[in-house]
Structure 1
Amino acid sequence: MEEQDFIGPRDVLGHAERAGAKAQTTLVRPSAPGEVTCFFGTRVTVPTAWEPADADLLIVPGGGDQLIKSPDVLRNLVRAQQAGVIVAGVCTGVMVLSAAGLTAGRPCTTHHLAKAELAAQGGTVIDARVVDDGNLVTAGGVTSGIDLALWMITRECGPSIALSVESIMEYEQRGVVWRSS
C-alpha cells in the first residue's frame, strides 16, 4: 500500500477522535494480523484481521495491486457494503473497489493515471478530488485521501470538528466534494 494513502486519512480520523468525534481507527489486513511492507519500504505492523461488517467506514488505500487478485477480498468488499459499511477508496485503492464491481455505473474517481482504466471497467469517472455516492466514497491520488477523511468527518460529525482537525493539521480541504445527492 502507498504510505500516504492510509496514514493521511488515519491522522485525520485520529485527530477527529481527540476533538470529540466518535471515531476510532484500526489498521486491518484481509487475512490475518501481521506486517505489511508499504510502497516505499515502510514496515507497518497491522494488529487485526479484517472482518467485513466490523466497521462503519472502510478505506482501501492505493498500492494494493495484490488485493485485486484475491477473490475473497473482492467478495468481502461487497459483503461489507451490503452490511451497511461505507466503502471508500483512495488513489488506486479505487481500482480494488472496481474489481469487486462496486464502482460499476456509479460516480467515482481515482488517481489521474488510472481514470481511463476505471472508466473502461464501467465506473462513471468524475473529475474531482473526492466523489461521494452515499455508501461509496472515492478519492483521487495520494493527498486527496486527507480530503476524503476530512469530508467524512464533515459529513458524519459536522463541520466544527472538521475545522478543528484542519486547524490541528494545518491543512485545508482542497476542491469541491462531488456528491450524488
Structure 2
Amino acid sequence: MENGIRFVALVFPGITQLDLTGPLQVFAQLPGAVVDVAWHRIEPIATDGGFSILPSTTFDTAPQADVLLVPGGQGAFELMADEAALEFVRRQGSRARYVTSVCTGAFVLGAAGLLRGRRATTHWASHSMLSMLGAIPVQARVVQDGDLITGGGITSGIDFGLVVAAELFGADAAKRVQLSMEYDPRPPFDAGSPTAPDVDRGMVDALPAIMRERREPLVRAAAARLA
C-alpha cells in the first residue's frame, strides 16, 4: 500500500473513547498514516469517560478518507438524528476505500443507509437492534463484508484495527504493530463475552433489555427516516 493513507474518524459527545483511541493507536503506527478526527466544530468533545477529545478538523474541512471510522457510545444514538453528521458519513463513505465502525458506531452507519443488506456486528448488548436498519447482524468480534469492516464492543476495536491494518499493508505489518503495542491480552478473568464461563449471567440477561429501553426508540426513529 502506498504511503500517505488517510484515516478520518468521527467524534461526538458521549463517545466511548476506547472505540476511537484503540484503533487509532493501531492506525497511527502504519507507514505514512495521516489521522484526522472530525466534528461540527473544533472544540473539546466530552467522552463518556469524563474527559474530552479535541477534533483536528470539521465536517466541512475534513479531507477525503481512505478509511472512514465511526466509533460508538451512547452518543452514537443521538447522532442518528444529526443530518449533517449523517451526510458527512455518506459523503465520506461514498469515496472511502473502507467504511468502518467499532461498537455501536455501526448504528450511525446504518442510520446513514450504509448497512442495507450488509453483514455487520456491534456490541453484544445492542446487537439484536442492527437488523432494524437493514443490516445482517453477525455475532463476531470483527466482521468484514467487502469494503465494510465492523468491530464488536469497545476493546474489539484493537482487533478490528489490526484487521484493517492487515488489509491495507499485509499481515506482517499488522503483526509488527501488534508487537509494538504489546497487544497480548491475558485478562485476569474469563468473563469478557456473554458466552464466557465466568460471565455474570444476570448482566447478560438484564443489559440487552436496558439497552433496548434506552436505545430502541432512537433506532426505530432512524429506521423510519430511512424508509
TM-score range, shorter chain: 0.7 to 0.9
Cα distance in 2 between the residues matched to 1:141 and 1:78? 23
Q: CA 1:172–1:106 in 2, change beyond 3 Å: closer, same or farther?
A: farther
Residue identity in the other structure for 1:11: Q
SS in 2 for 1:25: strand
In the alignment, the residues of structure 1 paired with residue 170 and residue 68 of structure 2 have an alpha-carbon distance, to the nearest angstrom, of 19
Tell me the residue number matched to 2:101.
Answer: 89
What SS does structure 2 have at the residue aligned with 1:46? coil
Q: C-alpha displacement at 1:160, in angstroms? A: 1.3
Aligned residue runs from structure 1 range 148-159, under 5 A: 148-159=160-171
Contact kept in structure 2, 1:53 and 1:79, CA below 8 Å:
no
Per-residue deviation, residues 82-110 of structure 1 (Å, max 9, x unmatched): 22342211101111111111111111000
User: 1:107-143 CA deviation, whole Å, 9 max, x = no partner?
Assistant: 1000011111002322101111111112211110001
Contact 1:98-1:121 at 8 Å conserved across structures: yes
Q: Using the TM superposition, give the Cα deviation of residue 52 of structure 1 relative to its aligned residue in structure 2, in angstroms.
A: 6.5
Are the structure 2 counterparts of residues 43 and 84 from structure 1 closer, same or farther at C-alpha, using a change threshold of 3 Å? closer
Q: Give the match for residue 32 of structure 1.
A: 41
Residue 164 of structure 1 corresponds to which residue in structure 2? 176
Q: Which amino acid aligns with 1:2?
A: T
Distance 2:179 2:165 in 1: 14
Aligned length: 168
Instruction: Measure the CA separation in 1 of the matches of 2:119 and 2:38.
Output: 26
Cα deviations by residue, 1:33-69 (Å, 9 ceiling, x for unpaired)? 1111001111111121135761101111101333111
TM-score when scaled to structure 1? 0.86
> What secondary structure does 1:65 align onto?
helix
CA–CA distance in 2 between the matches of 1:172 and 1:60?
25
Q: Secondary structure at 2:131's aligned position in 1?
A: helix
Aligned to 2:56: 47
| Residue segments in structure 1 that go unaligned for 5+ positions in a row | 174-181
Structure 2 counterpart of 1:151, one-letter code:
V
Q: CA shift at 1:5, angstroms?
A: 0.3
Matches of 1:58 and 1:172 in 2, distance apart? 26
Q: Is the 8 A contact 1:52 1:77 kept in 2?
A: no
Contact 2:100 2:148 in 1 (8 A): yes
Residue identity opposite 1:120 in structure 2:
M
Relative to structure 1, is the Cα distance of residues 82 and 89 closer, same or farther in structure 2, using a 3 angstrom cutoff?
same
Higher relative contact order (CA 8 A, sep 6+): 1
Distance, in Å, in 2 between the alignment partners of 1:84 and 1:3 is 23
Matched, 1:8 2:22: yes
Q: 1:52 to 1:131 in 2, by over 3 A?
A: farther
Counterpart Cα distance in 2 of 1:111 and 1:143:
10
Q: 1:71 Cα shift?
A: 1.3
Cα shift at 1:172: 4.7
Note if 1:58 corresponds to 2:72: no
Structure 2 unaligned blocks of 5 or more: 1-14, 186-227
Q: Which residue of 2 aligns with 1:67?
A: 79
Amino acid at match of 2:119: P
Structure with max Cα Rg: 2
* TM score, norm. by length of structure 2: 0.69
Q: Secondary structure at the match of 1:98?
A: helix
